[in-house]
Amino acid sequence: MTLAAAITCEVGSLQLAVEFAVQPGELLAILGPNGAGKTTVLRALAGLQPLDVGRITIDDTVVDDPATDTFVEPARRATGMVFQQYALFPHLSVLENVAFGMRAQRVPKGEARRRAYEWIDRVGLAGHAQHRPGELSGGQAQRAALARALATDPRLLLLDEPLSALDAGTRDAVRRDLRHHLASFDGMRVMVTHDPVDAFALANRVAIIEAGRIVQTGTFEEVTAHPRSRYVADLVGVNLVHGVVAAGALTTATGAKVVLADASPGPSFAVIRPHSIVIVRESPLASSARNVWHGTITEIDRLGDRVRLRVDGVLPLTAEITVAAFEALALQRGDSVHTTVKATDIEVYPA
Amino acid sequence: MLALAVVAISFFALPLIGLIWRAPWSKAWAYLSDHAAVTALRLSLQTSLWATALSVLFGVPLAWLLARTQFPGRSAVRALCTLSMVLPPVVGGVALFFALGRRGLIGQWIYRWFDYQLPFTTAAVVVAQTFVAMPFLVITVEAALRQLDTAPEDAARTLGASRWYGFRRVTLPAIRPALVAGAVLSWARALGEFGATITFAGNYPGTTQTMPLAVYLARETNPEQAIVLSLLMIAISFAVLVTLRDRWFGNRRDTAVLS
Question: Among A194, A223, A189, A231, which Cα is nearest to A206's?
Answer: A223
- Express each pLDDT in A65-108 by its tens digit: 999 999 999 999 999 999 999 999 999 999 999 999 999 999 99
Q: What is the pTM of this model?
A: 0.78
Query: Which H or E run contains B201?
Result: none
CA angle B190, B191, B194 (to 5 degrees): 80
- Express each pLDDT in B166-223 by its tens digit: 999 999 999 998 999 899 989 999 999 999 999 999 888 889 999 999 998 888 888 8
Q: Which CATH architecture has domain A1-229?
A: 3-Layer(aba) Sandwich (3.40)
Chains A and B: how many Cβ contacts under 8 Å? 75
Asked if B24 and B227 count as a contact pair (C-beta separation under 8 A), the reply is yes
- Residues constituting chain A: 351
Q: Does B158 touch chain A (CB under 8 A)?
A: yes
Residues of chain A above pLDDT 70, percent: 99
Q: List phi, psi (to 5°) of A71.
A: -150, 115
Q: Does B173 touch chain A (CB under 8 A)?
A: yes
Task: Give strand pairing partners of A158.
Answer: A81, A190
Question: Among A318, A313, A324, which Cα is nearest to A301's?
Answer: A318
- Express each pLDDT in B14-71 by its tens digit: 988 988 888 888 888 888 888 888 899 999 999 999 999 999 999 999 999 999 888 9
CA angle B34, B38, B40 (to 5 degrees): 120
Facing residue for A91 by CB, picked from B156, B166, B173: B173
> What residues does each domain of chain A span?
1-229, 236-348
Q: Residue B235 and residue B95: Cα distance in Å, rounded?
A: 32
Q: Does B168 touch chain A (CB under 8 A)?
A: no
Tell me which chain B residues have a C-beta less than 8 angstroms from the C-beta of A83.
151, 154-155
DSSP class of residue B234? H
Q: Which CATH architecture has domain A236-348?
A: Beta Barrel (2.40)
Please state, rounded to an integer, the average pLDDT across all residues of chain A: 89
Range with the largest mean pLDDT of A243-247, A285-289, B249-253? A243-247
Asked if A37 and A44 count as a contact pair (C-beta separation under 8 A), the reply is no
Asked if B73 and B65 count as a contact pair (C-beta separation under 8 A), the reply is no
> What residues does each domain of chain B span?
26-85+121-258
ipTM at complex level: 0.79
Task: Give strand pairing partners of A271.
Answer: A240, A347
CATH level 3 topology of B26-85+121-258: MetI-like fold (1.10.3720)
